[in-house]
């Protein structure tokens, strides 16, 4: 008490430094590392996707053709006209479409899992798949003259089904309560699937086409498909990304999110609407490709800090890479014939998922 401290000029600075060391600010949440890794995977998947196929083209040729299409660059690829056309008109649109669909299914899956706080939720939960399946089947059995309308019918069926789910869910349960919405989704999906099966049985000659559509495929993809779904996918992805922080708030449940000042039921409807729109567009051009919406977000969750601020963007990029690679497998494994891509995603995805689960458990116990 009686000793007086020497009054150094830097004494207050020192004191503050100690205080800061005791009570450090939290580190900012950053998605940079995982995003960079995912982008690397996506780049690799794109290059593989455009160079693999019946006509063998090298990685560097593929890269050069890409560069030659960059406006203002005036880069000359030196690749033959035919090869260049194969790349630009056939393979690249297929890769881009696969990427968009994969990004949407994975991003939508992450969002649905967050909104419904259910690890097994996927973008098809509220009837998107059943509705799209019914729309597509209706067009297919109506005959070849209407084929043009298939994407539109699938899209309308998907959006209609989810709307119906929300209406039914709101009338049977408390407004916006997740349990009644999910149950309504199950009921709506069962009903629409029943109608779809009935239609399909009445037109047995179309069974193969219906089945092929349901298993999903990127076979007939062109730039026009890309243009068709791009606006929906872009808007949907933007909305989901913009809600990535709020998805973390929803993780503590409706009540607590509300008590933190979030109108959770509104946030939930916004996210579901956005995810549905994008998924419906994806399904409309690619059919019902399964598993992507569950496997990809979970892989991301298990390998990062599990915040939606990381899970949403990284799932989108990773989903794009995953589906492009799945499509490469679909068209090369049994070449010249193709396997439905939905079979590939299930076949490759399920064991991969188990592997990630397992390695994580081992990592934890050590």
Partner 1 sequence: MIAFESVTVRYDMVTALSDLTEDIGSGEWVGLIGPNGAGKTTLLRAVARLLPHEGEIRVDGVAVSSLSPKRLARLVAYVPQQPELPPDMTVGQYVLLGRTPHIAYFGFETGEDRSVCGELLGSLDLATMAERRLSTLSGGELQRLVLARALAQQAPVLLLDEPTSALDLGRRVEALELVDALRRERGLTVLSALHDLTLAGQFADRLILLGEGRAVSTGKPDEVLTEESLGRHFGASVRVMRSDVGDLIVIPQRVR
DSSP string, 65-84: HHHHTSTTT-------HHHH
In the bound state with partner 1, the residue whose beta carbon lies nearer, of 85 and 256, is 256
With CA atoms as reference, report the closest residue to 358 among 304, 306, 302, 300: 302
Distance CA 285, CA 280 (A): 9
In the bound state with partner 1, the residue whose beta carbon lies nearer, of 152 and 252, is 252
Question: Considering the rule CB under 8 A, would residue 265 count as an interface residue with partner 1?
Answer: no
In the bound state with partner 1, the residue whose beta carbon lies nearer, of 208 and 305, is 305
With CA atoms as reference, report the closest residue to 327 among 218, 181, 175: 218
Among 1, 5, 23, 82, interactor with partner 1 by CB under 8 A: 23
Please give the span between the terminal C-alpha atoms of the chain, in angstroms, as a whole number. Answer: 50
Question: Considering the rule CB under 8 A, would residue 253 count as an interface residue with partner 1?
Answer: yes
Question: Considering the rule CB under 8 A, would residue 246 count as an interface residue with partner 1?
Answer: yes
DSSP string, 286-354: H----SHHHHHHHHHHHHS---HHHHHHHHHHHHHHHHHHHHHHHHHTTTTS---HHHHHHHHHHHHHH
CB of 236 to partner 1, least distance (A): 16
Look up residue 354 and give its two tokens: 């188990």
Look up residue 264 and give its two tokens: 């959770």
In the bound state with partner 1, the residue whose beta carbon lies nearer, of 207 and 238, is 238
| Binding span for partner 1 by CB under 8 A among 18-26, 63-71, 95-103, 145-153 | 18-26
Among 245, 334, 351, 358, interactor with partner 1 by CB under 8 A: 245
CB 282 within 8 A of CB 233: yes
With CA atoms as reference, report the closest residue to 179 among 121, 246, 130, 124: 121
Question: Considering the rule CB under 8 A, would residue 249 count as an interface residue with partner 1?
Answer: yes
CB of 256 to partner 1, least distance (A): 6
Number of residues that bind partner 1 (CB under 8 A): 28
Question: Considering the rule CB under 8 A, would residue 336 count as an interface residue with partner 1?
Answer: no
Among 43, 120, 167, 260, interactor with partner 1 by CB under 8 A: 260
* Binding-site string for partner 1 from residue 204 to residue 243, where x marks contact by CB under 8 A and - marks none: --------------------------------------x-
Question: Considering the rule CB under 8 A, would residue 259 count as an interface residue with partner 1?
Answer: yes
With CA atoms as reference, report the closest residue to 345 among 295, 299, 286, 287: 295
In the bound state with partner 1, the residue whose beta carbon lies nearer, of 22 and 205, is 22
Among 5, 26, 72, 362, interactor with partner 1 by CB under 8 A: 26
Site for partner 1 in 29-88 (CB under 8 A): 29
Return all residues near 321 (Cβ < 8 A) that are at least 6 apart. Answer: 38, 41, 42, 44, 45, 99, 102
CB 120 within 8 A of CB 112: no
Question: Considering the rule CB under 8 A, would residue 361 count as an interface residue with partner 1?
Answer: no
Tokens 């050069």 belong to which residue?
Answer: 64
Question: Considering the rule CB under 8 A, would residue 256 count as an interface residue with partner 1?
Answer: yes
With CA atoms as reference, report the closest residue to 160 among 277, 239, 287: 277
Return all residues near 41 (Cβ < 8 A) that are at least 6 apart. Answer: 317, 318, 321
| Binding span for partner 1 by CB under 8 A among 30-38, 184-192, 259-267, 315-323 | 259-267
CB of 254 to partner 1, least distance (A): 9
Return all residues near 113 (Cβ < 8 A) that are at least 6 apart. Answer: 119, 120, 121, 122, 297
CB of 282 to partner 1, least distance (A): 24
In the bound state with partner 1, the residue whose beta carbon lies nearer, of 69 and 360, is 360
Question: Considering the rule CB under 8 A, would residue 258 count as an interface residue with partner 1?
Answer: yes
Among 152, 307, 329, 347, interactor with partner 1 by CB under 8 A: 307
Question: Considering the rule CB under 8 A, would residue 337 count as an interface residue with partner 1?
Answer: no
Binding site for partner 1 (CB under 8 A): 22-29, 242, 245-246, 248-249, 251-253, 255-256, 258-263, 301, 305-307
């Amino acid at each position: 008490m009686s000793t007086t401290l020497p009054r150094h000029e830097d004494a207050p600075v020192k004191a503050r430094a100690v205080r800061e060391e005791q009570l450090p600010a939290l580190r900012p949440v950053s998605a940079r590392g995982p995003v960079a890794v995912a982008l690397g995977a996506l780049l690799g998947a794109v290059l593989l996707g455009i160079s693999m196929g019946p006509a063998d083209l090298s990685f560097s040729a593929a890269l050069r053709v890409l560069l030659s299409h960059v406006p203002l660059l005036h880069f000359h690829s030196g690749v033959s006209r035919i090869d260049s056309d194969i790349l630009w008109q056939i393979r690249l649109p297929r890769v881009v479409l696969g990427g968009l669909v994969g990004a949407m299914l994975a991003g939508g899956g992450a969002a649905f899992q967050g909104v419904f706080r259910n690890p097994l939720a996927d973008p098809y939960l509220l009837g998107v798949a059943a509705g799209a399946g019914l729309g597509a089947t209706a067009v297919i059995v109506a005959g070849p003259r209407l084929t043009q309308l298939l994407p539109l019918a699938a899209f309308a069926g998907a959006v209609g089904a989810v709307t119906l789910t929300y209406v039914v869910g709101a009338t049977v349960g408390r407004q916006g309560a997740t349990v009644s919405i999910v149950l309504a989704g199950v009921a709506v999906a069962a009903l629409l699937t029943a109608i779809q099966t009935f239609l399909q049985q009445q037109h047995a000659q179309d069974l193969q086409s219906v089945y092929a559509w349901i298993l999903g495929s990127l076979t007939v993809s062109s730039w026009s498909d890309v243009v068709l779904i791009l606006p929906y996918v872009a808007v949907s992805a933007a909305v989901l990304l913009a809600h990535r922080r709020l998805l973390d708030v929803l993780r503590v449940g409706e009540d607590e999110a509300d008590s933190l000042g979030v109108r959770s039921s509104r946030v939930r409807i916004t996210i579901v609407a956005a995810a549905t729109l994008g998924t419906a567009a994806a399904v409309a051009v690619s059919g019902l490709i399964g598993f992507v919406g569950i496997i990809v977000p979970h892989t991301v969750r298990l390998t990062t800090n599990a915040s939606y601020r990381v899970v949403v963007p990284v799932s989108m990029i990773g989903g794009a890479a995953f589906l492009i690679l799945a499509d490469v497998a679909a068209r090369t494994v049994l070449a010249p014939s193709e396997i439905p891509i939905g079979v590939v995603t299930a076949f490759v995805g399920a064991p991969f998922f188990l592997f990630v689960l397992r390695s994580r458990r081992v990592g934890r116990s050590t």
